[in-house]
Amino acid sequence: MGMMQDYIEEAERDLLHTYNRYQIVFDHGDGVRLYDINGKDYLDFVSGIGVFALGYGNKEYNEAVKSQVDKLLHTSNYYYNVPAIEAAKAIKKASGMDRVFFTNSGAEAVEGALKTARKYAYLKDGKTDHEIIAMEHSFHGRTFGALSVTGTPKYREAFQPMIGNIKFAELNDIESVKALVNEKTCAILFETVQGEGGIHPADEAFIKEVRKICNENDILMMLDEIQCGMGRIGEYYAWQRYGVKPDVMTSAKALGCGVPVGAFMMTEKVGQNSLVAGDHGTTYGGNPLGGAAIVEVFRQFEERKITDHVKEVGQYLYEKLDEVAKAHDDIKDHRGVGLLQGLEFDHPVADIINKALDKGLVLINAGTNIIRFIPPLVIEKSDVDEMIDKLNSCL
């Protein structure tokens, strides 16, 4: 244990203290398991917060990334590179969107989406007083724009003023949205399934009604699929199960399965009537390394039929978590879809998560009293059984 503690103390001296970290130093992973530097193994039900969809030590993925490292890592966006072009093609095929802009993170993708909305509205009337409607309890990231549309005041208050003209409605309460729509509204933004805010899926009636409002008023419907996208709920993107389509959407996390990449995508109509040369840019975005990772991720998703697998194992996880929820009076609710689910307790869950770590199970919260289950998408039913056993022993 000495060596682990030494590293932890070193980190606490050197790193800015913005995270309260669990007292573990992870060293390597294999499949759906992580190993700390003492060799102890853990079943991973966090996947790096929904990033490591294809599991650890994935040979084909590692080879795709390694071979790109030997060829070319970076060129800047003054030039074209083949991996980024192939990655854009793969995203378009999976999402049905028309235009792609690559970023390095989810927050950056949200920033780009916000700029898209403002420019789209500006080109219509030359005004800069447009409003964006976002949702309470949402989470879109920590940069100023993304934070401005994040509907949790405690994240925002010390950093005011935020970017202006943002209003907050309630997810799945269409009247709260209608009450805010006016001639200045340029976009309505929400996560198709709220992640950090407590695993709340947008329901079909809500999403279809928002789509209708946007169509009637030429407002952009913008969906954040950073956590709930990339197969997480059993479709490439969570909105696809509702038969609607956003005008702008964001993706990241499992898009690169470990290499930091993000993207925002839009329809051709928005692409032709918003950002143009000089409006937006990034030095690293769309670099060949990120592109190679994305291409390999989509290749494996297709070859291994990941979305079908998620539907099947996700259903099994739902049944098992339902049994747990029914057996414990302190569990108030069980929500979610696919491999993005949550158990809501009537008390904080930190103790349970710490106990689980001791027993070799990695879990994460969503808010203080919800345990979130976001494992690698390649888990099997036997992994669910093992997780449930360990969870039960902690409850």
List pLDDT tens digits, range 192-209: 999 999 999 999 999 999
Q: pLDDT digits over 76-114, tens only?
A: 999 999 999 999 999 999 999 999 999 999 999 999 999
CA 395 – CA 384 distance, rounded (Å): 16
Fold observed for domain 2-57+305-394: Aspartate Aminotransferase, domain 1 (3.90.1150)
2 — pLDDT class (breaks 50, 70, 90):
confident
For the stretch 176-180, contacts whose Cβ atoms lie closer than 8 Å and that sit 24 or more positions apart, written own/partner, are 177/133, 177/209, 177/210, 177/213, 178/213, 180/131, 180/133
Does the pTM surpass 0.75? The reply is: yes
Please give the average per-residue pLDDT across 213-225, as a whole number.
Answer: 98
Please give the average per-residue pLDDT across 137-157, as a whole number.
Answer: 96
Angle subtended by helix axes 350-358 and 381-394, to nearest 10: 120
1 — pLDDT class (breaks 50, 70, 90):
low
Q: Which CATH class is domain 72-303?
A: alpha beta
Provide, rounded to the nearest whole percent, the portion of the chain with pLDDT above 70. Answer: 100
Q: pLDDT digits over 272-283, tens only?
A: 999 999 999 999
Q: pLDDT digits over 372-392, tens only?
A: 999 999 999 999 999 999 999
The closest alpha carbon to 112, from 135, 141, 80, 81, belongs to: 141
**132 has a pLDDT exceeding 90:** yes
* Cβ-contact 332, 344 below 8 angstroms: yes
Establish whether domains 2-57+305-394 and 72-303 are of one fold.
Answer: no
* Cβ-contact 16, 8 below 8 angstroms: no
Pair of tokens at residue 306:
């990941």
Residue spans per domain, the chain? 2-57+305-394, 72-303
Amino acid 206: pLDDT: 98
Q: Is 315 helix (H, G, I), strand (E, B) or coil?
A: helix
